Structure 1
Amino acid sequence: MENTKQDLSKQPTKRGNPYMGFLWGILIVLFLNGLVFPNLMDRKIYKTDYGDFIEKINSGQVREVMIEDKQIYFTADNEKGQQTTYQTGAINDPQLVDRLLQAKSPNQSGKIAFNQIVPRENSPILNFILMWILPGLLFYIIWKQTSKSLQARLGAGGNFMSFGNSGAKIYADSDIKTTFADVAGQNEAKEMLSEIVNFLHNPQKYTDIGASLPKGALLVGPPGTGKTLIARAVAGEAKVPFFAISGSEFVQMFVGMGAAKVRDLFKQASEKAPCIIFIDEIDAIGKKRDSAYGGNDEREQTLNQLLTEMDGFDGRKGVVILAATNRPEMLDKALLRPGRFDRRIQMELPDLEGRKAILQVHLKKVKHETIDLDIVARATAGSSGAELANIVNEAALRAVRLGRQRVITADLEESVETVIAGAQKKDKVISPEEKKIISYHEIGHALVAALQSHSAPVHKITIIPRTSGALGYTMQVDRGEHVLMSQEDLFNRIATLTGGRAAEELLCQTVTTGASNDIEQATQLARSMVTRFGMSKKYDMMGLEQVNNAYLGGNTTLNCSAETAAEIDEEVLRLIKEAHQKARDLISKHIPVMHEAASYLIEKETITGDEFMKILQKYREQAS
């Protein structure tokens, strides 16, 4: 195995600009060329007419005259006795010389000094340089710089407009410091990829039994789950060179260049084998080929070349292809068949224990006190590894802003809210009437959540505005990790979402725009219950909606007739009305709790779930 000692992607050491000597030469030539002209720039020259020139000669004010073909420069004394240089146009005046000879002058000799300037011609060598050498060199420099710019943009190497040079970033085995220890929360993916590492370390053990190395592994998952990170970790564990390139870099303006890049990439990889090729966002070139809707010829040629190269190279050489995508459903079937991408590795969002492990990895990079990882991990359900890394970084920044040298649990909790809802807007002025409505709205959410059995406990209630536009929010944190949600769980969630509007209606006798986000979430949940989860008696287990791009937001498409779509709307409305009525009933039975909790929230602006539950428990004891 070749052990490259330096980063293959680094450029050679920069040396002096080879054109600097040439530029200095141009400056010297121009300087020497300037010596052939009279140096009049050190004087201030005033323009005048020829009549004034003759008048000054006759009055004896002119000291010196220099005559050119079309211009006359003369020096004369002004009214203050100061010498001034004038310029006038030359006129065919045969008597001018006689006037100059006969006129008087302030000079000591009493005569005007005059002469005619004879233009000096450049030497033949200088003319040759200025007319031929200089334009040729300038044209060559412009052509050379343009060639380099186009080569960089088009990915061409060597001669101008030549195909080749994959454009991949190549990292030597000694330069990759990432290992599996830097990847947390993806134990299943690491286990599947560790076999590739073992094969690269000890291929004989597998070839003896007749097994061959998987040619490719496709990493699939939502953004931020660590697909690129784990690919680098595989190379770091195997101690082999790492070729990294994005799928979009293959698609070029000129037909055939993408295919040339693929050929060059695999050629370089074969020379450096064993090694790992990582193609990020492979869906840029691996989309399904569908002639019914037309296609991109360049992209399809690039895909065809990739398929050919994956079939052509020998897996026993140790060239492994890793690819990542957020849209696996978009990939061509020929790309996913065995013999090409043999393995599909799911990089899902981490569970509770996975989030704890990821937080521990990133907390190693910052100074911190004892952190309650359990509460932070439970508050970040649904967060990716990248989001958790951002949360730890935001916590460190907050500790610095507050003048502390170590991160504490409160920093992490606040950073969770900053990432989810934005930073606090402490300077935003809210009227007392609006603050009252917001308080009742948030307490309505909290009360409905607390009074239902299948609902996450209330963790925090606040009416401090956030930069995301939220005027307040109620945070619920589950005690554990839930993989499944029952029909009752979802219905109670919708009831909790309608609790804010129900509180406005019952206690403020109004409705506001503050429930807009609640309405959006409640509608989406109710629609999913009807169309996707089979939780409607009317439609039983009939699938009415299809999810597209599950890892990129999950937009949906209805698979039913227009009449059925209208009936679905009616069913969704029924669910929301039932949940809304349930929230109204729960709040109307606990009006005193609402008043006291809302007043306490207005005073403190932020209260914990424990403080809210104490108020609720006090009234429960009084009622019993």
Structure 2
Amino acid sequence: MPGGRNFWIIVLSLLVLNYVLMAVFSPGQKPSVTIPYSSAQGAPGFTQMVDQGKVARVKMEGATVTGEFKQEQRYPDAEAEPAKNFDTELPTPVVYDGTALLDQLNENNVEITATPINDGRGFFTSLLLGFGPVILLVFLFIWLSRRAAGGQMGALGQFGRSKARRVEGDQTKVTFNDVAGIDEAKMELTEVVDFLKNPQKYQALGGRIPRGVLLAGRPGTGKTLLARAVAGEAGVPFFSISASEFVEAIVGIGASRVRDLFKQAKEASPAIIFIDELDAIGRQRSSGGGPFSGGNDEREQTLNQILTEMDGFETGDTVIVLGATNRPEILDAALLRPGRFDRRVTVPPPDKEGRKKILQVHTRSLPLDPDVDLDDIAAITPGMVGADIANLSNEAALLAARRGHAKVQRVDFTDSLEKIVLGAPRGIVLSEEEKRRTAYHESGHAIVGMLTPGADPVRKVSIIPRTMSLGVTISSPDSERTNYDVDYLTGRIKVALGGRIAEELVYGSISAGAESDIQQLTGIARQMVGRWGMSEAVGPIAVIPSDAQGPLLPGVSEVSQATQQLIDSEVKRIVDEQYAQVVTLLAENRDKLDSLTERLLEEETLDMDDAYAAAGLTAPRAPVDVPLNA
């Protein structure tokens, strides 16, 4: 619009264009000097040079006279640049009575002309000077009028263009070698890569590769990395976009972007379309008549267009759609049917061996100290996915640099893990009494974990205050668990109760420090009763919803007040039974509790071997001295 930056840039550009054209097509003027009308001394003036026969012709316009010498003159002295043309100003009496001047010019055979003496302009130059600015202004007003008339449609056209980021095959540096810990998912995608490389092999036998592959898994498991690795292995263009980028306030824009995206992909065939966070537009469509349902909803319009485009693939189209979501259970059934997203590839969190391989990938550029055992680090990071492990490796390297270490040490990894899980250490100073109480609390957790059969081994105990707590006890299994039995779950409840009971045993009172422990053990007990059927009184009935279900979804219904009371009583019974057992356990092992507390007060942080030694016990697994990645 006029007044905007773009408007003035256009105006300035047109003026510069006009100036450049004039400079190119105009031959320019010859050098000219200014001389006085008459001179009494020094260099001669105009009248003297006329008498000397040096002036060839002149043109007079009012008091201004321009002329041309017969030969180039150096004026006013011999050091001046030679000039063929000159100009001068006539005195006022001469202007009004120029008879004497005319007689002088005629006597010396000076031509008096009506055409400009020093005008290098030709026809084209005169045309540019006379009509160029007008023509430019006309074109400018035409452009403004068209923009005003079609601005809205032009904006809609820009909105309708796909915002997908395109990466060419030779620019994609990610391959399957950069993806670790999810071998099962890589194997399922190998066929997709082979089809993109050799589509004729499958088409010759009448086979049809899946048009869509859905990658489902927790955030950070490597779904986007897998999609980029498929494009890198196949060497084909990769169109990446988030599903939320399709949706705009104007209905129909998302569908237009979908059409444009698929058009670009087909033109670049073979190619890969990667749609991240597919659940943003692919969730189940509503069949109700509410204000947010119906065919005019922008999200539904976009989903319908995706369904249509995936159905519209021709036999020869080698375009594969990779979708990624964290919530596959909420996707629309029409999206998952054969012919669209034919395959579902689950990308699970890595197990211990998978975490070790991921660590090897992310630490291959880090100088590791010999005390770093990637197998041991993988064991103390259960539940972490690829993104978490990449962040852990980076934090360890940054911490080692801040500490001035020449290489990244094991303590850098463990301290970084504590920082990620619990937050950075707080700069507070605990009193001796509060510090001792915290030490007894954490020692209670650790002793119960060490002495309870089947409980996860204790990896680290610390009483350094952090963002979320005054101390921490880290436990993790040696091998990955895929199923939880009753003994293991009750063991976790016992470990959570250990801190509170240790305080009660030593001080005869309890504190608020067990808040998170109580929340954790209550959650475990409720799920044992309401989801996993581990209560004889309730039986194998689901009475509370799972994480992926709401209270109104199939499999879970509203429970009666009597059933809710039964659930609460069973949860309390399970916790009370474990409470009594932990009281007995710590009372019988009070010496171990005191020994570990004293050592913890001295060191503040104890690793696995030191913690078990302080309690007078043997660690269930000794760490390996030689790093496995050496």
Displacement after TM superposition at 1:299 (Å)? 1.0
Structure 1 position 488 matched with structure 2 position 487:
yes
The aligned residue for residue 613 of structure 1 is: 612
The aligned residue for residue 458 of structure 1 is: 458
The aligned residue for residue 520 of structure 2 is: 521
The aligned residue for residue 161 of structure 1 is: 156
- Report which stretch shifted further, 342-351 or 205-214: 205-214
Deviations 1:171-194 (A, max 9, x none): 111111110111111111111111
Displacement after TM superposition at 1:481 (Å)? 1.8
Asked if 2 retains the 8 angstrom alpha-carbon contact of 1:548 and 1:557, the reply is: no
The aligned residue for residue 378 of structure 2 is: 377
Asked if 1 retains the 8 angstrom alpha-carbon contact of 2:530 and 2:542, the reply is: yes
- Give the TM-score of the pair, scaled to structure 2: 0.72
Displacement after TM superposition at 1:20 (Å)? 5.0
Displacement after TM superposition at 1:394 (Å)? 0.3
Q: Structure 2: how far apart are the matches of 1:536 and 1:271?
A: 60
- Report which stretch shifted further, 608-617 or 208-217: 608-617
Displacement after TM superposition at 1:337 (Å)? 0.2
- Give the TM-score of the pair, scaled to structure 1: 0.73
2:156 alignment partner AA: M
2:241 alignment partner AA: I
Q: Structure 1: how far apart are the matches of 2:602 and 2:143?
A: 76
Structure 1 position 229 matched with structure 2 position 225:
yes
Contiguous gaps of at least 5 residues in structure 1: 1-15, 26-132, 151-155, 551-555, 620-624
Q: What SS does structure 2 have at the residue aligned with 1:316? A: coil
Q: What SS does structure 2 have at the residue aligned with 1:214? A: coil
The aligned residue for residue 410 of structure 1 is: 411
Displacement after TM superposition at 1:145 (Å)? 12
1:539 alignment partner AA: V
Asked if 2 retains the 8 angstrom alpha-carbon contact of 1:213 and 1:316, the reply is: no
The aligned residue for residue 440 of structure 2 is: 440
Q: Structure 2: how far apart are the matches of 1:224 and 1:315?
A: 35
Displacement after TM superposition at 1:316 (Å)? 3.1
Structure 1 position 329 matched with structure 2 position 334:
no
How do 1:299-338 residues align onto structure 2 when only pairs under 5 Å count?
299-338=299-338
Q: Structure 1: how far apart are the matches of 2:352 and 2:183?
A: 13
For the structure 1 residues 508 and 198, does the alpha-carbon distance in structure 2 shift closer, same or farther, using more than 3 Å as the test?
A: same
- Report which stretch shifted further, 166-175 or 376-385: 166-175
Q: What SS does structure 2 have at the residue aligned with 1:456? A: coil
Asked if 2 retains the 8 angstrom alpha-carbon contact of 1:256 and 1:301, the reply is: yes
The aligned residue for residue 62 of structure 2 is: none
Displacement after TM superposition at 1:477 (Å)? 2.8
Q: Structure 1: how far apart are the matches of 2:591 and 2:307?
A: 70
1:510 alignment partner AA: S
The aligned residue for residue 587 of structure 2 is: 588
Displacement after TM superposition at 1:142 (Å)? 13
2:431 alignment partner AA: S
How do 1:29-108 residues align onto structure 2 when only pairs under 5 Å count?
none
The aligned residue for residue 267 of structure 1 is: 263
Q: Structure 2: how far apart are the matches of 1:223 and 1:485?
A: 23
Displacement after TM superposition at 1:423 (Å)? 1.7
Asked if 2 retains the 8 angstrom alpha-carbon contact of 1:180 and 1:237, the reply is: yes
Q: Structure 2: how far apart are the matches of 1:578 and 1:510?
A: 20
1:498 alignment partner AA: L
Q: Structure 1: how far apart are the matches of 2:532 and 2:309?
A: 43
The aligned residue for residue 32 of structure 2 is: none
2:339 alignment partner AA: G
How do 1:68-467 residues align onto structure 2 when only pairs under 5 Å count?
159-162=154-157, 164-292=160-288, 293=290, 294-295=292-293, 297-370=297-370, 371-425=372-426, 427-467=427-467
Asked if 1 retains the 8 angstrom alpha-carbon contact of 2:538 and 2:567, the reply is: no
Displacement after TM superposition at 1:298 (Å)? 1.2
Q: What SS does structure 1 have at the residue aligned with 2:525? A: helix
The aligned residue for residue 578 of structure 2 is: 579
Displacement after TM superposition at 1:274 (Å)? 0.5
1:160 alignment partner AA: A
Q: Structure 1: how far apart are the matches of 2:439 and 2:339?
A: 61
Asked if 2 retains the 8 angstrom alpha-carbon contact of 1:240 and 1:275, the reply is: yes
2:323 alignment partner AA: A
Asked if 2 retains the 8 angstrom alpha-carbon contact of 1:215 and 1:315, the reply is: no
Asked if 2 retains the 8 angstrom alpha-carbon contact of 1:214 and 1:315, the reply is: no
The aligned residue for residue 32 of structure 1 is: none
Displacement after TM superposition at 1:284 (Å)? 1.0
Asked if 1 retains the 8 angstrom alpha-carbon contact of 2:212 and 2:321, the reply is: yes
2:157 alignment partner AA: S
Displacement after TM superposition at 1:137 (Å)? 7.4
- Report which stretch shifted further, 265-274 or 360-369: 360-369
Displacement after TM superposition at 1:291 (Å)? 2.2
For the structure 1 residues 600 and 314, does the alpha-carbon distance in structure 2 shift closer, same or farther, using more than 3 Å as the test?
A: same
The aligned residue for residue 537 of structure 2 is: 538
Displacement after TM superposition at 1:548 (Å)? 3.5
Q: Give the share of equivalent positions with the same residue, in percent.
A: 46
Runs of 4+ in 1 over 3 A off after TM superposition: 16-25, 136-148, 556-559
Deviations 1:429-473 (A, max 9, x none): 111111111011001111111111111121211100112x21101
Displacement after TM superposition at 1:349 (Å)? 0.5
Displacement after TM superposition at 1:407 (Å)? 1.2
For the structure 1 residues 599 and 203, does the alpha-carbon distance in structure 2 shift closer, same or farther, using more than 3 Å as the test?
A: same
Structure number with bigger Rg = 2
Displacement after TM superposition at 1:169 (Å)? 0.8
Asked if 1 retains the 8 angstrom alpha-carbon contact of 2:542 and 2:556, the reply is: no
Q: Structure 1: how far apart are the matches of 2:557 and 2:575?
A: 20
1:165 alignment partner AA: R
Displacement after TM superposition at 1:560 (Å)? 2.5
Displacement after TM superposition at 1:546 (Å)? 2.5
Q: Structure 2: how far apart are the matches of 1:569 and 1:521?
A: 16
Q: Structure 2: how far apart are the matches of 1:147 and 1:513?
A: 67
- Report which stretch shifted further, 381-390 or 301-310: 301-310
1:399 alignment partner AA: A
Displacement after TM superposition at 1:139 (Å)? 13
The aligned residue for residue 72 of structure 2 is: none
Q: Structure 1: how far apart are the matches of 2:255 and 2:520?
A: 46
Q: Structure 1: how far apart are the matches of 2:341 and 2:607?
A: 50
Q: What SS does structure 2 have at the residue aligned with 1:574? A: helix
Asked if 2 retains the 8 angstrom alpha-carbon contact of 1:213 and 1:315, the reply is: no
Deviations 1:409-444 (A, max 9, x none): 22112211111111222x311111111110110011
For the structure 1 residues 310 and 598, does the alpha-carbon distance in structure 2 shift closer, same or farther, using more than 3 Å as the test?
A: same
Displacement after TM superposition at 1:482 (Å)? 1.8
Count of residues paired in the alignment:
485
Deviations 1:530-564 (A, max 9, x none): 111111111222122222438xxxxx976532321
The aligned residue for residue 21 of structure 2 is: none
Deviations 1:555-584 (A, max 9, x none): x97653232122101111111111111111
Q: What SS does structure 2 have at the residue aligned with 1:243? A: strand
Contiguous gaps of at least 5 residues in structure 2: 1-7, 18-135, 550-554, 619-630
Asked if 2 retains the 8 angstrom alpha-carbon contact of 1:530 and 1:539, the reply is: yes
